[in-house]
Structure 1
Amino acid sequence: MLNDLQQRKMAHLFALLDVDDDGTVDKMDYTASADRLVNAFGFAPGSAESQRVRERYARLWDEVTFPMDINGDGRVDLEEFTTGFDRFVTQPEDGYHAHIAPVANAFYDLMDTDGDGRITRTEYLRMTGSAFRMSEANGLIAFEHLDLDANGSLSREELHLANEQFFRSADEQAQGNWLFGPVPAGV
């Protein structure tokens, strides 16, 4: 069972993914996020890069989020989302590696536009602003918390650690809690 922090993290991510702010996440939210990402990175319509982004978002929906749809309405509400992450990612020992690590790798590859094996602050901000609707200020705060060696870029290992901590850790001090910016305080 998720503790208060984990529930707040899932609610925060859910709000970022609910592009049309209708209280559910559905395939159209993922399509809209993919389109924003394609535009933010300047990929030409129909290009291999554009197609890859859209395919990865479709896979994220099909393999990670859609199976959380308990009532079969084609949409995932906050309760389904939170329960699903607990069941598929947080609780099983291999949950992160089975469900999130492949997605994190895909996002890493998309962000690393210059192919140098590092995610710069600019690349990170472009991703978080377009794919997750994060403000630049929150993106900068997040980046600073995730750049563990303070070298001005994120390695694949730093990103995986942050993702795993965000999705699995109950520790208030885990740096990965900042992956999607500041998590709102509990009520």
Structure 2
Amino acid sequence: MLNDLQQRKLAHLFTLLDVDDDGTVDKMDYTASADRLVNAFGFAPGSTESRRVRERYARLWDEVTLPMDADGDERVELKEFTAGFYRFVTQPGTGYHTHIAPVADAFYDLMDTDGDGRITRIEYLRMAESAFRLSEANAAVAFERLDLDGNGSLSRQELHVANEQFFRSPDPESRGNWLFGPLPALG
């Protein structure tokens, strides 16, 4: 069972993924997120980077999110989304490594525009603002929280730790809770 924090994190992510703000997540939302991301980094629609991000988003939709659709309408509501992430990702096992890690790797490769193996603050902010509609201020706070060694950049390992903590950790002190910016206050 997910604790309150885990439910809040998934509700927050759901809101960020619901690009058209219609209260559901569907394949169009994933496609729009992928398109915004590759456009923000200036990649041509047919480029290798663009295809890779779109393929990872499509795989995430097909293999993780669509199977969450309990009523078969190809639209996932928050309740279905939360239950599905609990079933596919949050539980111990390989769910994170099978479904989320490949998308995180595609994000990492796309963000690392200078190819130096590090994600700078500017690169992270560009991703967070375009793919997840975070404000610059919220993206900056998230970056600071995720920079575990305080060196001003993020490594692939730091991003994987943050991703896994966001999706799996019930601990309110986990830095990964900040992956998608600050969580909204309880209603």
Deviations 1:85-105 (A, max 9, x none): 111111133222222112211
CA distance in 1, matches of 2:14, 2:135: 16
Corresponding residue number in structure 1 for 2:154: 154
Q: Indicate the larger mover: 49-58 or 161-170.
A: 49-58
Corresponding residue number in structure 1 for 2:58: 58
Letter in 2 for 1:57: Y
Once the two structures are superposed, the pairs formed by residues 94-105 of structure 1 within 5 Å of their partners are 94-105=94-105
Letter in 1 for 2:56: R
- 2:123 maps to 1:123: yes
Corresponding residue number in structure 2 for 1:70: 70
Count, aligned residues = 187
- 2:169 maps to 1:169: yes
Residue aligned with 1:7, SS: helix
Deviations 1:110-133 (A, max 9, x none): 111111111111111111111111
Corresponding residue number in structure 2 for 1:38: 38
CA distance in 1, matches of 2:87, 2:50: 32
Same amino acid, percent of matched pairs: 81
Deviation >4 Å, runs of 4+: none
- Contact kept, 8 Å, 1:4 with 1:186, in 2: the verdict is no
Give the alignment's TM-score, normalised by structure 1.
0.96
- Contact kept, 8 Å, 2:52 with 2:106, in 1: the verdict is no
Corresponding residue number in structure 1 for 2:143: 143
CA positional deviation for 1:55: 1.7
CA positional deviation for 1:180: 0.2
Give the alignment's TM-score, normalised by structure 2.
0.96
Q: Indicate the larger mover: 57-66 or 45-54.
A: 45-54
CA positional deviation for 1:66: 1.2
